[in-house]
Amino acid sequence: MKKNLKIYLLFLLLPFFTAACLEKEVFTVTPNLPAVSNLQYTLSGDSVILTWNLPQGHDSLSVSVSPNPSGIPLKMNATSCKMGIVEVNKPYMYTVKISDTKGNTSLGQSVSFTRSGASPLKNATVVQVDNNVLFTWSLPDSAITGIVLKYTDQSNVVQTVNIPATSTSYQISNPAVGNYHFGLYTTNSRNQVSQNIYLDLKVGATLLGYLGSAPDSLSLVTTADDDIIAGAKWFFQTYPKARYISLNNVKNGTVDLSKYRVIWWNYDIDDGTSDLPAIATDGAVVAKMTAYHKNGGNLLLSTYAIQYLWNLGRMPSNIHLSFDRGPGGLNPDVWGIGVNIGKKHNQSGHPLYKGISMTTQGDGRVTFPVIGNGWKENHNCIIIVPSIYNLANDNELVYTNFTTQNNAVWLGMWDGIGDYFMTGIFELTPKDNFQGRSISIGIGGIEWKVNSGDNPYQSTINLLYKNAIDYLKAN
């Protein structure tokens, strides 16, 4: 009986031994290429330069380095690469692997290091205030002995400014018009430096404008759609120096558009149509708005105003907008925005979303809410992207084609979308003759004035638009 018991126990345990062996086989990789050798690192400014030797007798080797935040692949048979920005007092480890055209791979070789240095500034920002450039920041928790600002001015001269260690702001008075790339770093008592914090700013026109078809701002806030009025009130409260721009004044030339850095057109109507007002499509108005955008003027376009990009000639005719019109209806759901496009391109780090709390869903979607229970107008102005290229919704070429052909940054979609079905928020960067940028926000869940009660997420909408305006102001 004891012998039979042993045999019985052996059969009971056999599946576990088999599973263990199978698990070992699944996770064991036998390398069939020699690994790289002599992997070294050198710190150079804010970057690290990695170098290695490839094994002899092997041609056409693909080299991968991880992590690789840029995502840019290395050249074939590469023996070095440059990574940055390397932060101070933070451990880093890079791993280098190689593979050949036959699918053979090597083990990874790794190098680890920590860059010692002074603690960097926190929350650094730069804005143009009238004719001046203002920097602000918070001091680090660790002691520093100085702050250094470096940039190249419009005469191509490198400027170095030493700032006291206790300062939390600095101003450049009346800089020349142009694009600037600033670097801020700190020093400590051991003569060490921190990594640079890089800030870009376009110095030029300063005014902000709110565009509309009403003859003046008083008429606007008494006769326009409630969403247009709510947006205008928030805009002028947030930016007291901003001005109202009537499309009629654009036509007759009584407004100088060249003085405006950003123009916001918030056009949302509730009459069952999505047509632009006739004055907007007047030939003289279109010509002047086109010249403004080509000359570097930036546009923020909401809802039905997005179609103006086609009037200006910035978007091609083969791309079509899809509209939802009408009064809407009651809906108890919370609607939101998804920012991880196709669950592969996470845009949560874009300045448009600064300070907005995100939730990463179980399937990889990254979302945030914008409207709660109540009456939703659902005035979508979106692009159904795959149909443009006759591709499936999950085809990566949908994303690649749309972004590369239009110099676009695909920023947002309905929160339930996990593929490339639609874009409802996008940025257009300079392209060809158009030197201005634009941000278009056309998702119907983003309303400035809900029709029933208060929107619990109104502060998120306010922040989203403030981020958009501040970003366009700086670029």
Closest CA to 181 of 196, 201, 165: 201
Q: Does the pLDDT at position 239 exceed 80?
A: yes
Average pLDDT, the chain: 92
pLDDT over 70 percentage in the chain = 94
Q: Does the pLDDT at position 12 exceed 70?
A: no
Predicted confidence (pLDDT) per residue in 312-341, tens digit: 999 999 999 999 998 899 999 999 999 999
Give 271 or 36, the one with higher predicted confidence: 36
| Residue found under tokens 């149909």 | 387
The pLDDT of 251-263, averaged and rounded, is 96
- The reported pLDDT for the residue numbered 26 is 42
- 122-203 and 207-474 agree in CATH topology: no
Give Cβ neighbours of residue 271 (< 8 Å, ≥ 6 apart): none
DSSP-assigned letter for residue 33: B
Per-domain residue ranges for the chain?
A: 37-114, 122-203, 207-474
Give 71 or 451, the one with higher predicted confidence: 451
Element (H, E) at 416: none
Distances (CA, A) of 272 to 268, 302, 328, 379: 11, 17, 10, 10
Three-state SS sequence of 210-267: EEECCCCHHHHHHHCCHHHHHHHHHHHHHCCCCEEEEHHHHHHCCCCHHHEEEEEEEE
The pLDDT of 61-77, averaged and rounded, is 90
Pair 398, 391: CB distance under 8 Å: yes
Predicted confidence (pLDDT) per residue in 390-443, tens digit: 999 999 999 999 999 999 999 999 999 999 999 999 999 999 999 999 999 999
Fold of 207-474: Rossmann fold (3.40.50)
Fold of 122-203: Immunoglobulin-like (2.60.40)
Token pair for 338: 């998804």
Fold of 37-114: Immunoglobulin-like (2.60.40)
pLDDT band at 18 (very low <50, low <70, confident <90, very high): very low
- The reported pLDDT for the residue numbered 379 is 96
| Residue found under tokens 């052996």 | 10
The pLDDT of 200-208, averaged and rounded, is 91
Q: Does the pLDDT at position 14 exceed 80?
A: no
> What's the CA gap between 125 and 136, in Å, rounded?
5
- The reported pLDDT for the residue numbered 29 is 54
Q: Examine residue 461 and say whether the peptide bond preceding it is cis (omega within 30 degrees of 0).
A: no
Q: Does the pLDDT at position 19 exceed 60?
A: no
The pLDDT of 155-161, averaged and rounded, is 96
| Residue found under tokens 């509209």 | 323
Predicted confidence (pLDDT) per residue in 95-124, tens digit: 999 999 888 999 999 999 999 999 999 999
Predicted confidence (pLDDT) per residue in 337-375, tens digit: 999 999 999 999 999 999 999 999 999 999 999 999 999
What pTM does this model have?
0.75
Q: Does the pLDDT at position 76 exceed 80?
A: yes
DSSP track, 380-404 = -EEEE-HHHHT--TT-HHHHHHHHH
Q: Does the pLDDT at position 17 exceed 90?
A: no
Q: Does the pLDDT at position 270 exceed 90?
A: no
The pLDDT of 460-465, averaged and rounded, is 98
Beta strand 298-303 with 260-267 is: parallel
Q: Does the pLDDT at position 380 exceed 50?
A: yes
The pLDDT of 251-279, averaged and rounded, is 95
- The reported pLDDT for the residue numbered 196 is 97
